[in-house]
Amino acid sequence: MANHRVTLRPSNRTVDVPTGTLLSEAVQAAGQELGQPCGGQGRCGRCAVQVEGSGFRRRSTVRLSPEDLTAGYALACQTVVEGDLAVAIPPQERLQRMLVTDRVAARAEVPLAYDPATMQSLRVIQLALPEPSLEDNQDDQARLLAGLADAGVPSPSVPILVLRRLGPVLREAAWKPWVVVDQPDPTAPARLVDVSATPPKPLGLAIDIGTTTVTIYLVHLDSGEVLAQSAEYNDQIARGEDVVSRIIYAGKDGGLAELGDLVRRTIATLLERIRLRTAVDPAEILKVTIAGNTTMAHLFLGLPPASIRLTPYIPTVNRPERILGFESGLPVHPLASVDVLPGVASYVGSDITAGALAAGLDQAEGLTLFIDVGTNGEIVLGTRDWLVTCACSAGPAFEGAGVVDGMRATEGAIEEVWVHAATFEPTLRVIGGGRPRGVCGSGLLSLMAELFVTGVVDRGGHFKMDLGTPRVRQGEHGPEYVIAWPEESATGRVLALTKVDVDNLMRAKAAIFAGFTVLASRVGVDLADVQQVLIGGAFGKYLNIEKAIQIGLLPDLPWDRFRFLGNTSVRGSHMALLSRQARRSIHDLSERMTYIELSADNAFYDAFTAALFLPHTEINRFPSVAEIWARENGRPEKVPSREVGA
Amino acid sequence: MANHRVTLRPSNRTVDVPTGTLLSEAVQAAGQELGQPCGGQGRCGRCAVQVEGSGFRRRSTVRLSPEDLTAGYALACQTVVEGDLAVAIPPQERLQRMLVTDRVAARAEVPLAYDPATMQSLRVIQLALPEPSLEDNQDDQARLLAGLADAGVPSPSVPILVLRRLGPVLREAAWKPWVVVDQPDPTAPARLVDVSATPPKPLGLAIDIGTTTVTIYLVHLDSGEVLAQSAEYNDQIARGEDVVSRIIYAGKDGGLAELGDLVRRTIATLLERIRLRTAVDPAEILKVTIAGNTTMAHLFLGLPPASIRLTPYIPTVNRPERILGFESGLPVHPLASVDVLPGVASYVGSDITAGALAAGLDQAEGLTLFIDVGTNGEIVLGTRDWLVTCACSAGPAFEGAGVVDGMRATEGAIEEVWVHAATFEPTLRVIGGGRPRGVCGSGLLSLMAELFVTGVVDRGGHFKMDLGTPRVRQGEHGPEYVIAWPEESATGRVLALTKVDVDNLMRAKAAIFAGFTVLASRVGVDLADVQQVLIGGAFGKYLNIEKAIQIGLLPDLPWDRFRFLGNTSVRGSHMALLSRQARRSIHDLSERMTYIELSADNAFYDAFTAALFLPHTEINRFPSVAEIWARENGRPEKVPSREVGA
């Protein structure tokens, strides 16, 4: 096949590729990163590039206007190379490093009453061995094992990597070596992790791999304390913003390996940041626990995730065995255990089981609802005696993606909006205080609630065009609300919330609310009887509870029943790192949670459809909202007393 | 430091090295192999090279004559580079590939009554799993484990390398996968080795890593039969001919890794040879057992062997855990178990424990002596109820090394000699039938016996100079016997056995004989009471029993008590590959054998000194020899009846 030269502008880097190569692959082969939030499916339009020359063919022009096409724009993921050409990549949204979790920097507490002697699987022991002689000439390993047996560690396994160091270390240590042993299961033999002539630090690492954000805690295993923490966007985002896009990407040639490398690169970056702050070499880390949704676990472990998204939604594994540092590809100690915690099903992973433990669901006496709002929304309902769980694909709308002027919660993002009930003029709170560049998740939720409560949109999510304000207008893509005029924005462009955006947000909130209601109806309980609503996820810390109820994302319960727990997943990972009992509890939770597959449930579709209103088809399920809405809109509705059933 | 250019002749390859670099290292850095049989200790003289230029300094000139020095010869391992120079490497002894074991090509039999169902740890099972559905949505691993539990394999461990293949394989196999499980210990959980959509061949590999020769058997684990076998010199020989030289070499920078790579290269070469004959890809091999002396085991496993040769002679490990294919560096299946069999002590390794099993020592009713004659001589004495063992450093003389005109048992080697009792003229048998190039081990043993019996050397190993034959003469290095005149040899040089060679051979045989006697005296038995003498080692097949007794290498017992078993080590390795019970027996033998450290035993030195005569200081211990010697030499000695005690 003929080869064609692809030249990048402005760098003038080149690459030669055969006819038919995807332009996105050519650009990446030339060493240029290219964001593909929808996973190269031609859905998001984010990979649009400007092409010089005629040696290409567009397979799809979705999201490109006739003007764009004239200007040479093409979707890199939907365009094939058929001749020499040059490509200019428009400046991508600059990735701000001011993450939500970094902005808060809450000090992580030791999450349980910690007694390392009874809880910790990892032990650091100094032995005093008899010196060998011609009379006592057993081999080094036998001598070490005898000393360990005396120290209460009978017959541990001795990995070859330890054995290779053993002879020189014993002699350098003058037969008083330090030994690291790990015994996650007290009924099974322990395993040697390291031997050394100097005392090693007992360091562990708790990780939460989120679809969007990766969080790590460096933990001292004697005290349980977090020595340092760091969080960063998951580098996989460039290959798809939600798990389905990632699963599709993983199915491409080399995609699975690439996604694994990307999340490992993210973790390595965080470890490097911690090294600069604490001087801790990652290779000193002797134990790792990881929580994450099932897809994240598969991508980290290198397991093909294809079957997760195909009916009947079967993962390769929910409860993987521990692997070792060298098998994980992380820069930790090669013999550190790397424990990807047990999950429940394809869409309820260990972020939820670990989160449920951190939220105390295993101890909950009253009826409890646990919600993890992320790119997926996962829900657990029950008490310490029974638990049901489900997942609903909320999509990334609440994280600022999939919305025309959406963005991540970084500098320039509108994070809260108030709309004047008479003039319909907005007041904005912008992260960093300057002019806005877009709207992040909490801003979108806030704006939606305000537009609803002020009557700018009706209960069906339709804009009222007769309010007499220029803010509500017919835009290029249909009706929209102008959040910022060009002179008010940092970009010089209008920022608006369109009807399409509203529909996206309604679907996201409807999916989560339908999840509650189907779960509740499956077990025959009334949502009104829920004693506590525990909200996890990085997003949870910023969720405005009032507004979340107003749009029907959360059930209409007294506010004192809601608790915002922040990142429950990393907290559960931290607990499992410290305590064998906590690790066991997560395992037990993974077995006890009854998973409800919503995609196979007509009741879910009915509930979802019913929730595609503001706050809901049956507004009497939201008495507090009905009251406000009636007051603001001057049209009192009858507010009946609460009904039984979801 | 200044760099100097070293140029190889005749290739004119060059390398730049700093002042002080060893010439041997410079030559190797330039990519030229250089034999160093003594391990770079300046003892053997085999690395002599011819240097042009003056930019070098000799640290030692051992084995170089004044003429050699004038001609520019230097020992590469004892010479440092101090300026530009050129080096010519004399043609090394061409490595013939006609190995002893290949010449014989005896068909290896299945070494035990083999019932794979009860003996074999490895099982290949086809499962028929229920297809997943929305109602039966357990994960792939759980489904597989349920199927295995039904097949009698409860809770095997699932390595991540298997897990990564599991999802695609189950679907490709339409839920009827082939599974390979290994369970060496029936009381411990099994381990998954592989899953596949097509039936795998149950192939195993039995290896014997000798100091000089590596032997492998490719074995079908259903029938136990050897599908192919191959043997080759251990590529480590170029870094030292005996274990002590190798241990010293391993202590150099990078030496340990290099020696490990060399033996792996040897095994890979053998596997490639088998692939050409059988089309078996080494990656199909699912299980490996390895026998070898303790130093060979350490070098293969990457364990620093330094402490093996330093008092109190402590190895890192005698009974290593199994490792996996990918940890071993062998090109076998990455999850094949690679089982280096258990040994006893620094100088009694698994070649002896496996050999003892193959020789039937665990079943021996009468007093049995087992001897493995290799570069080291190892000895086991006892019955099925008790066993003592020791090792004596015989050196490589019996393998043709460390002797002026010695060579390996390849084409051109004299393998048997007869000396005329009157004329003292020799008759030679040469491997391949042409003119001789040197003398191999069996030839040396034969020649020694003949020279002794014909009175050319006396009982002290001294040449008689007054025999009236030009064959016995004063040579450059003292008295010598001319085996071949220049016109009789293939090299055009004289081939001779020198006094120094005789002394080397005497020390080798004395060491082994002293081993027997000390072992026997330690346990208070008489060597004359030994019911059977079992001789292993590749050498054993060619040992002329009569002549071995004549020089005092073997005890003077009726010939029908001797059995030559060939390579007992690889046979024991083959047994362990087939049978868990055999593997267990080798382990038990390694624990039951009482090791006697001869280097710590004055009795050994006394016995060794006493054996430094032909056949022994006390010739009456060798009544058959005394009779022949008296007859041939016309000087009858009194031959008393046998005495008690060794």
Please name the residue ranges forming H helices in B151-193.
Answer: 160-172
Taking the C-alpha atoms of residue B442 and residue B407, their distance in angstroms, rounded to an integer, is 11
Q: Looking at the predicted structure, is the pLDDT value of residue B99 above 70?
A: no
The whole-angstrom distance between A390's CA and the closest CA on chain B is 14
Tell me the per-residue pLDDT of B259-291, one tens digit each, with 9 for 90 and over.
999 999 999 999 999 999 999 999 999 999 999
Q: Give yes or no for a contact between A553 and A445, defined as CB atoms under 8 angstroms apart.
A: yes
- What does the block give as tokens for B299? 């070098």
Q: Looking at the predicted structure, is the pLDDT value of residue B93 above 70?
A: no
Q: Which residue has the tokens 């939220």?
A: A359
> Touching check for A600 and chain B: CB below 8 Å?
yes
B-chain CB neighbours of A307 within 8 Å are 140, 167, 171
More confident residue, A518 or A398: A518
**Size of chain A, expressed as the number of residues it contains:** 646
Facing residue for A317 by CB, picked from B141, B314, B317:
B141
Best residue in B133, B314, B328, B601 to probe A by mutation, most A CBs within 10 Å?
B314
A-chain CB neighbours of B327 within 8 Å are 160
What pLDDT band is residue B584 in, cutting at 50, 70 and 90?
Answer: very high
Tell me the per-residue pLDDT of A444-458, one tens digit each, with 9 for 90 and over.
988 999 899 888 999
B-chain CB neighbours of A345 within 8 Å are 137, 139
AA identity, residue A259: L
Those of residues 343-402 in B touching chain A at CB distance below 8 A are 345-346
Q: Looking at the predicted structure, is the pLDDT value of residue B571 above 60?
A: yes
Q: Among the listed ranges A340-344, A365-369, B90-94, which one has the minimum average pLDDT value?
A: B90-94
CA of B326: which chain A residue's CA is closest? A327
What pLDDT band is residue B645 in, cutting at 50, 70 and 90?
Answer: very low
Q: Looking at the predicted structure, is the pLDDT value of residue A644 above 50?
A: no
Q: What is the pLDDT of residue A101?
A: 32
Best residue in A169, A313, A314, A602 to probe B by mutation, most B CBs within 10 Å?
A314
Among candidate residues A422, A282, A295, the one with its CA nearest the CA of residue A349: A295
Residue B416, Cβ neighbours under 10 Å: how many? Answer: 20
Tell me the per-residue pLDDT of A114-158, one tens digit each, with 9 for 90 and over.
999 999 999 999 999 999 998 899 999 999 999 999 999 999 999
What pLDDT band is residue A597 in, cutting at 50, 70 and 90?
Answer: confident
Q: What is the mean pLDDT of residues B348-360?
A: 96
Q: What is the pLDDT of residue B29?
A: 86
Q: What is the pLDDT of residue A634?
A: 60
Percent of chain B exceeding pLDDT 70 equals 90
What pLDDT band is residue B300 in, cutting at 50, 70 and 90?
Answer: very high
Residue by residue, what is the 3-state secondary structure of B546-582? HHHHHCCCCCCCCHHHEEEEECHHHHHHHHHHHCHHH
Q: What is the mean pLDDT of residues B306-335?
A: 96
Q: Which residue has the tokens 């170029």?
A: B238
Strands B478-484 and B472-475: antiparallel
Q: What is the pLDDT of residue B62?
A: 64
The whole-angstrom distance between B524's CA and the closest CA on chain A is 21
Chain-chain contact of A307 with B171 (C-beta, under 8 angstroms): yes
Q: Give yes or no for a contact between B292 and B263, defined as CB atoms under 8 angstroms apart.
A: no
Q: What is the pLDDT of residue B513?
A: 92
B-chain CB neighbours of A163 within 8 Å are 301, 303, 316-317, 320-321
Q: Looking at the predicted structure, is the pLDDT value of residue A93 above 70?
A: no
> Touching check for A310 and chain B: CB below 8 Å?
no
Best residue in A192, A303, A338, A340 to probe B by mutation, most B CBs within 10 Å?
A303
Task: Say which DSSP state B403 is in.
Answer: S
Distances (CA, A) of B60 to B42, B56, B77, B400: 7, 12, 9, 25
Chain-chain contact of B321 with A160 (C-beta, under 8 angstroms): yes
Taking the C-alpha atoms of residue B352 and residue B392, their distance in angstroms, rounded to an integer, is 13
Q: What is the pLDDT of residue A39?
A: 59
Facing residue for A316 by CB, picked from B163, B307, B346:
B163
Facing residue for A158 by CB, picked from B142, B321, B327:
B321
Tell me the per-residue pLDDT of A489-535, one tens digit each, with 9 for 90 and over.
998 889 999 998 999 899 989 999 999 899 999 899 999 999 999 98
Q: Looking at the predicted structure, is the pLDDT value of residue B643 above 60?
A: no
> Touching check for B308 and chain A: CB below 8 Å?
no
> Touching check for B268 and chain A: CB below 8 Å?
no
Q: What is the mean pLDDT of residues B543-569?
A: 86
Q: Looking at the predicted structure, is the pLDDT value of residue A103 above 70?
A: no
Q: What is the pLDDT of residue B474?
A: 94
Q: What is the pLDDT of residue B268?
A: 97
Q: What is the pLDDT of residue A381?
A: 96
What pLDDT band is residue A642 in, cutting at 50, 70 and 90?
Answer: very low
Helix (H, G, I), strand (E, B) or coil at B405: coil
What pLDDT band is residue A400 in, cutting at 50, 70 and 90?
Answer: low
Taking every pair of Cα atoms in chain B, the longest distance, rounded to a whole number of angstroms, is 102
Q: Looking at the predicted structure, is the pLDDT value of residue A105 above 90?
A: no
Q: What is the mean pLDDT of residues A572-587?
A: 98
Q: Looking at the predicted structure, is the pLDDT value of residue B105 above 70?
A: no
Among candidate residues A577, A583, A579, the one with its CA nearest the CA of residue A288: A577
Facing residue for B168 by CB, picked from A158, A159, A304:
A304
More confident residue, A12 or A305: A305
Please name the residue ranges forming H helices in B454-525.
Answer: 499-523
Q: What is the pLDDT of residue A385?
A: 94
Tell me the per-residue pLDDT of A172-192, one tens digit each, with 9 for 90 and over.
999 999 999 999 999 999 999
Chain-chain contact of A167 with B316 (C-beta, under 8 angstroms): yes
Q: What is the pLDDT of residue B275?
A: 95
Q: What is the ipTM of this complex?
A: 0.81
Q: What is the pLDDT of residue B36?
A: 64
- What does the block give as tokens for A479? 């009706």
Q: What is the pLDDT of residue A153?
A: 96
What pLDDT band is residue B642 in, cutting at 50, 70 and 90?
Answer: very low
The whole-angstrom distance between A142's CA and the closest CA on chain B is 7
Chain-chain contact of A317 with B171 (C-beta, under 8 angstroms): no
Q: Which one of A371-385, A614-628, B159-173 scores highest in mean pLDDT?
A: B159-173
B-chain CB neighbours of A133 within 8 Å are 312
Q: Looking at the predicted structure, is the pLDDT value of residue B541 above 70?
A: no
Facing residue for A160 by CB, picked from B133, B139, B327:
B327
Taking the C-alpha atoms of residue A340 and residue A300, their distance in angstroms, rounded to an integer, is 9
What pLDDT band is residue B101 in, cutting at 50, 70 and 90?
Answer: very low
Q: What is the pLDDT of residue A12?
A: 87
How confident is the prediction for chain B on average, in pLDDT? 88
> Touching check for B142 and chain A: CB below 8 Å?
yes
Q: What is the mean pLDDT of residues A50-79?
A: 83
How confident is the prediction for chain A on average, in pLDDT? 88
Q: Looking at the predicted structure, is the pLDDT value of residue B100 above 50?
A: no
What pLDDT band is residue B476 in, cutting at 50, 70 and 90?
Answer: confident
Q: What is the CA radius of gyration of chain A?
A: 27
Taking every pair of Cα atoms in chain A, the longest distance, rounded to a whole number of angstroms, is 102
CA of B141: which chain A residue's CA is closest? A317
Among candidate residues A498, A566, A512, the one with its CA nearest the CA of residue A395: A512
Chain-chain contact of B312 with A158 (C-beta, under 8 angstroms): no
Q: Tell me how many residue pairs between chain A and chain B have CB atoms under 8 A apart.
A: 131
Chain-chain contact of B141 with A327 (C-beta, under 8 angstroms): no
Q: What is the pLDDT of residue B329?
A: 97
Q: Which one of A16-25, A64-73, A377-386 scores highest in mean pLDDT?
A: A377-386
Q: What is the mean pLDDT of residues A477-486?
A: 94
Taking the C-alpha atoms of residue B458 and residue B408, their distance in angstroms, rounded to an integer, is 27
What pLDDT band is residue A610 in, cutting at 50, 70 and 90?
Answer: very high
Taking the C-alpha atoms of residue B582 and residue B536, their distance in angstroms, rounded to an integer, is 18
Q: What is the mean pLDDT of residues B121-138?
A: 96
